[in-house]
Structure 1
Amino acid sequence: MRGRILVLLLFPAVFSSVDSFEPFTTTVVVTAGALLGRKIYNYFQETCNDDWLHFNATGLQVDLERKLFGQHIASRVVVKALTGFMNNKNPKKPLVLSLHGWTGTGKNFVSQLMANNIFRRGMESGFVHQFVATAHFPHASQINTYKAQLQEWVRGNVSICGRSMFIFDEMDKMHPGLIDSIKPFLDYYDNLDGVSYRQATFVFLSNAGGESITRVVLDFWKAGRDREEIQLKDLERAMSLEVFNNKNSGFWHTSLIDKNLIDFFVPFLPLEYRHVRMCALAEMEAQKMNLDEDMANEVAKDMIYSPKEERVFSVKGCKTIASKLEYYR
């Protein structure tokens, strides 16, 4: 409808004198006007096509290299997984990533970078859908209602755009059993009731698994080994088992893990002093402040570190950097 209105506004003369044209000429002029109107409509109105949706693998890699600190495993896994999936014209199932680690280590940030490099409007896109467990599913007594709603939300949005992205935050606070309601949409089906979910992306964010990740990183630190030596295989199994067996997690005994529907468990390592300092400098740059090395050091020193004896890892990661900078300004 909006496209037709634009055409009428752009071509009033054409439509006021359309009766004077021969039938063939009339068809050509009206069609040209409609096409132009549709192009203008698509320019301003987000649609599920290449005008608004185009994966930038190079952009994602550069963003991760320049803006994410201390996460060599997560960066590599996310770039490879997303690039392979987006370049596959006929994937067998949706891409399902589960990001795990302490707060402030970059899980939310990475999901935003993914969206920014797939959709022109990034997180503001109408095809990116974010659910926060404590906000959208607060009451355990309503779990059956939430299951039905969640299925309808996913089904309805994928029907509109097959490349939809769904981000589930605070999975460690989600009611056990709720996420299983979308298990059929993540499985190896060509379509369900005429809807194909194979090009959609599902991203789960959770603090669960952080303990097993920290143990491995601390062991490497105590042995004097570089954290960059840690590989995905050193973490993935222990992390997935911790999540699966955690009764207070939304992944507790979930069929998503039991049926191997999560493509990658992505570990986010706890951040050290040097990473917090880099976060402070990056935040200064983002706020267009003069880069102040002394201030970055002060901000990093002001964070709380654990374990108590070693004081190696920032308890809050980089989460409170912006507010700390305001204090030291």
Structure 2
Amino acid sequence: MKAAHFYLLLHVFSTASVLVNAFDPITTTVVVSVGAALGRTIYDYFHERCDPKWISFNVTGLEVDLENKLFGQHIASRIILKAVNGFMSNVNPKKPLVLSLHGWTGTGKNFVSQLIAENIYKEGMDSSFVHVFTSELHFPHPSQLDTYKSQLQQWIKGNVSNCERSMFIFDEMDKMHPGLIDSIKPYLDYYDKLDGVSYRKAIFIFLSNAGGESIIQTALDFWKAGREREEIELRDLETLLSLSVFNNKKSGLWHTSLIDKNLVDFFVPFLPLEYRHVVQCALAEMEARGLRPDQSVADQVARDCVYFPKSERVFSVKGCKTIESKLDYYT
């Protein structure tokens, strides 16, 4: 809300309150009712609600953000845009959208989740309809697994009951106790309603480092063969990735029925980043801070990162994860 509009509403509300004392009891009742209505109007104007004013998908915004802010992820960008646009454009989806994002640290998984939220919810990641679960924070004790399952079911049911367009992000899936995520399988399946609640318009995003080794190996194989990374396609990775995650005992998706029953719509691979992508990250971070992008500083930041294989220094070990702290040092 613009400041002028805000103060105008406050002025009108205050005026109505003052007028209460100037009228007889009958008229006062009318004025108080008007004041209450204005109060509700002000409350509704500020308070996030589950309606198109607060939840409206901006496909152009997501496309531009993926193109200009996410670097080195041609596969992920294409899948995310098509998957989210197709889902949000469908007035009657048959099931929730379930995305499983995989890749090494610093490659953009959390960032993509943020971009999706920012282009669906007016409040972005601060929206009361976006819920983030972190394994080590929310589910730390293996002995409490049954309790966590019950709590997770209740949390999801309660939030979707409040808003069908809820988004749930599960970070650190590779650290989640195997079997926990299966507790929400019914909510991800092809059901019209469960106990009177429809989950079909919700979005579930799983973030994991699991499967990262398979992705890195494929990228290395392409590089060793002298092929461009842009030649890597989803079919080169998707089956290998799903099998790797399903059979990995350290993965929260180990032997999960979500994979077995094909409830994950897309396994999205995030490729390891090269030197040029780290430079792009540094330049973008400068711009985000309101600084003039400096190529020499960006190059210095990128050179200061660790790469592998050690002899060839092809891929950044931490992707763009440490860019912010390194810029604090160089700027």
Q: What is the TM-score of this pair, normalised by structure 1?
A: 0.91
Letter in 1 for 2:139: F
- Who is 1:320 aligned against? 322
Letter in 2 for 1:219: D
- Give distance in 1, aligned partners of 2:99 and 2:319: 21
| Alignment equivalent of 2:256, drawn from 241, 254, 269 | 254
Query: Residues 16 and 34 of structure 2 are in contact (CA less than 8 Å); yes or no, is this contact kept in structure 1?
Result: no
Q: Deviations over 1:171-206 (max 9, x none)?
A: 000000000011000000011001110000000000
| Alignment equivalent of 1:49, drawn from 31, 43, 51 | 51
- Give distance in 2, aligned partners of 1:249 and 1:10: 61
Query: Residues 13 and 38 of structure 2 are in contact (CA less than 8 Å); yes or no, is this contact kept in structure 1?
Result: no
Letter in 1 for 2:294: D
Counterparts in 2 of 1:309 and 1:20: CA distance versus 1, 3 Å = closer
- Who is 2:3 aligned against? none
Aligned to 1:130, what secondary structure does the other structure show? strand
- Give distance in 2, aligned partners of 1:32 and 1:84: 44
Query: Residues 100 and 266 of structure 2 are in contact (CA less than 8 Å); yes or no, is this contact kept in structure 1?
Result: yes
Letter in 1 for 2:64: V
Letter in 2 for 1:177: G
Gaps of 5+ in 2: 1-9
| Alignment equivalent of 2:182, drawn from 163, 177, 180 | 180
Counterparts of residues 49-198 of structure 1 (less than 5 Å) = 49-198=51-200
Letter in 2 for 1:116: E
- Give distance in 2, aligned partners of 1:168 and 1:10: 48
Query: Residues 283 and 295 of structure 2 are in contact (CA less than 8 Å); yes or no, is this contact kept in structure 1?
Result: yes
Query: Residues 273 and 312 of structure 1 are in contact (CA less than 8 Å); yes or no, is this contact kept in structure 2?
Result: yes
Aligned to 1:291, what secondary structure does the other structure show? coil
Deviation at 1:95, TM superposition (A): 0.4
Letter in 1 for 2:26: D
- Give distance in 2, aligned partners of 1:35 and 1:306: 63
Deviation at 1:220, TM superposition (A): 1.2
- Give distance in 1, aligned partners of 2:98 and 2:25: 53
Letter in 2 for 1:217: A
Letter in 1 for 2:73: Q
Q: Deviations over 1:62-82 (max 9, x none)?
A: 111111100011111111100
- Give distance in 2, aligned partners of 1:193 and 1:9: 45
- Who is 1:268 aligned against? 270
* Comparing 88-97 and 300-309, the one that deviates more: 300-309
Deviation at 1:287, TM superposition (A): 1.5
- Who is 2:5 aligned against? none
- Who is 2:225 aligned against? 223
* Comparing 238-247 and 284-293, the one that deviates more: 284-293
Aligned to 1:176, what secondary structure does the other structure show? coil
- Who is 2:211 aligned against? 209
Between the aligned residues of both structures, percent identity stands at 70
- Give distance in 2, aligned partners of 1:59 and 1:8: 36
- Give distance in 2, aligned partners of 1:281 and 1:89: 39
Gaps of 5+ in 1: 1-5
Counterparts in 2 of 1:58 and 1:31: CA distance versus 1, 3 Å = farther
Counterparts of residues 14-53 of structure 1 (less than 5 Å) = 19=26, 37-53=39-55
- Give distance in 2, aligned partners of 1:18 and 1:183: 59
Q: Deviations over 1:71-118 (max 9, x none)?
A: 011111111100111111100000000000000000000000111111
- Who is 2:297 aligned against? 295
RMSD (Å) for aligned C-alpha atoms: 2.1
Counterparts in 2 of 1:309 and 1:190: CA distance versus 1, 3 Å = same
Number of corresponding residues: 319
- Who is 1:3 aligned against? none
Deviation at 1:30, TM superposition (A): 8.9
Counterparts in 2 of 1:19 and 1:138: CA distance versus 1, 3 Å = same
Aligned to 2:132, what secondary structure does the other structure show? strand
Query: Residues 165 and 202 of structure 1 are in contact (CA less than 8 Å); yes or no, is this contact kept in structure 2?
Result: yes
Query: Residues 43 and 51 of structure 1 are in contact (CA less than 8 Å); yes or no, is this contact kept in structure 2?
Result: no
Aligned to 2:311, what secondary structure does the other structure show? coil
- Give distance in 2, aligned partners of 1:137 and 1:168: 11
- Give distance in 2, aligned partners of 1:219 and 1:63: 29
Deviation at 1:230, TM superposition (A): 1.2
